[in-house]
Amino acid sequence: MNTAVILAGGVGSRMGVDRPKQYLLVQDKPIIAYCLDIFQLHNNIDKIVIVVSDEWKSYVEECVEKYGITKICGYAPAGKTRQHSIYNGLKCINENAGETDVCIIHDAARPLVSDEIIDDCITGAIEEDGAMPVISVKDTIYQSSDGKSIDNLLNRSQLFAGQAPESFNFKKYFEVHNSVTDEEIGNTAGSSEIAYRHGMKIRLVKGSERNLKITTIEDLETFETILNN
């Protein structure tokens, strides 16, 4: 059983508009609906959990109805951080989960993920403990422990920028969350980070520049351009 956890709990937007980015309309359809379509239509996804703030829950329920998303198995409340939201989503899956079940964590604001990336992530989570799509890092990254001067060089060929969906053996990943403090969950920068830190082996799979998270007006324009082509 493979369950997607779609993170739609964010309440802000850097775009100076009146709603969170995942609910912006593109060609009259909210961004989250494009994302849900992909998981609804994907053969290897069995169920979908949506993490959403109370304020937007009825709106999301209407979207689910309107766009025929039938794989929904539950809604979870948004947490105080992204990783808390993930934990809430996992709790929704827990009741009937088997040893080999996989959870696939995705952002509602990444509506351009390919079927292939989803497949690769699921395979990685089955064959190892988890998987994450990555792309190369474009910036030149320097390390500084005090933020004042360079004190280490990083080998750029060994650096990767993480994308979503991050996929995990559900039981192992859920157990990690049950075993750590609330503070550690809050201090997690990426959902694979907490898994790796607690001994899970995380495979890197090929991500895509196209699988962008819509954050800025420029991202939104890129998405519209891709839709039009």
Contacts with its own copies, residue ranges (CB under 8 A): 128, 132, 134, 137, 139-145, 147-150, 153-154, 156, 158-162, 189-190, 192-193, 196-197, 201-204, 218, 221-222
User: What is the chain's Cα-based Rg?
Assistant: 18
Closer residue to its own copies, CB minimum distance, 93 or 132: 132
Sorted by sequence, the CB contacts under 8 Å of residue 13 that are 6+ apart come out as: 19, 20, 21, 24
Shortest distance, CB of residue 146 to its own copies, whole angstroms?
A: 9
Sorted by sequence, the CB contacts under 8 Å of residue 129 that are 6+ apart come out as: 168, 169, 172, 173, 195, 200, 201, 202
Shortest distance, CB of residue 59 to its own copies, whole angstroms?
A: 28
Closer residue to its own copies, CB minimum distance, 73 or 137: 137
Shortest distance, CB of residue 211 to its own copies, whole angstroms?
A: 13
Closer residue to its own copies, CB minimum distance, 54 or 116: 116
Contact 117, 211 (CB under 8 A): yes
Shortest distance, CB of residue 64 to its own copies, whole angstroms?
A: 29
Shortest distance, CB of residue 17 to its own copies, whole angstroms?
A: 16
Closer residue to its own copies, CB minimum distance, 40 or 85: 85
Structure tokens at 78: 């948004």
Q: Strand 29-30 vs strand 25-26: parallel, antiparallel, or unpaired?
A: antiparallel
Distance in Å from the first CA to the final CA of the chain = 34
Shortest distance, CB of residue 132 to its own copies, whole angstroms?
A: 8
Shortest distance, CB of residue 73 to its own copies, whole angstroms?
A: 28
Contact 44, 117 (CB under 8 A): no
- Report the residue count for the chain: 229
Contact 127, 119 (CB under 8 A): no
Q: How far apart, in whole angstroms, are the C-alpha atoms of residue 122 and residue 124?
A: 5
Closer residue to its own copies, CB minimum distance, 40 or 192: 192
Q: How far apart, in whole angstroms, are the C-alpha atoms of residue 46 and residue 34?
A: 18
Closer residue to its own copies, CB minimum distance, 25 or 154: 154
Closer residue to its own copies, CB minimum distance, 73 or 123: 123
